[in-house]
Structure 1
Amino acid sequence: MSHNYTESADDESTTEPGGADYYVLGGGVLGVAVARRLREREHTAVVVDDTVSTADVPVVDAAPTDTDALRDAGLSAASTAIVATCSDERNLLVAQLIRARFDGLRVVVLANADGRVGVFADAGHEPVCVTSAISDAVAEHV
């Protein structure tokens, strides 16, 4: 099965599927923002999401749970997967699925609620609490 891959028009890093350092799985606007920030820091990053379209970040048009699309896009143990959907339950399921299908893969999972950070860590993933990150950023800004 072929999956759509869109390259940004102004992309000079020539990121191709199979060559990315980071694969941001889902997340819509947040996932795209994470990929943009990584690219600003000179990493290669691709978003895997079937609901996103953007001109400045490469996107694989597929569900984050589509392991065939992830393989076709080049996800491997040499990459880091960042699971960034808007649901903690889905994030945990996606993280467990890709960890089971891709040996040795580093998996960073966004936790939307503080109380879920321990669950993600206990499952062997690297959690980042979105609520804490945003509240820290707001407090530093004001």
Structure 2
Amino acid sequence: MRWMTMGVLALVVAGCASGQVTTASPNQDAIDRQFGPPPAGMAAVYFYNPAASGSAVNVMAGAMVVGQLAPKSWMRIALSPGWHAMRCITTDSANPSSITLAAGDIRYVDVEMPAGAQACTIRETGVGAGRAGVLAGSRITPPG
């Protein structure tokens, strides 16, 4: 199992190593900046990278590749209620975290690799810091 996990992580890093992210359309960006409720029975999670510079960071929720966050970028995904493992991954580091969600939740997760840092970080933040991070960045389009 460990080798399989390491293989998946290697593929994620290799597949996203270019550092290029695709920004969302201005319309989708504007819609999600309204912080509206998630779909019925789901929770919304905003992943954001507030760093002004540094490397792009790959983000996973469970086995799902959420996407890659460049500095000053963010994305919103819907997740089912319950416990979810999360990871930030760069070419040199990977760090885990977790989050427990209830239906209707809107939560914020800071993911970054500041310039000069030794490892990426991933942690849940409060509404104020989360919304500020989203409003200061550009929405990216998750893969798929």
TM-score, normalising length: structure 2: 0.28
Structure with the larger strand share: 2
* Relative contact order higher in (CA < 8 Å, ≥ 6 apart): 2
Structure with the larger helix share: 1
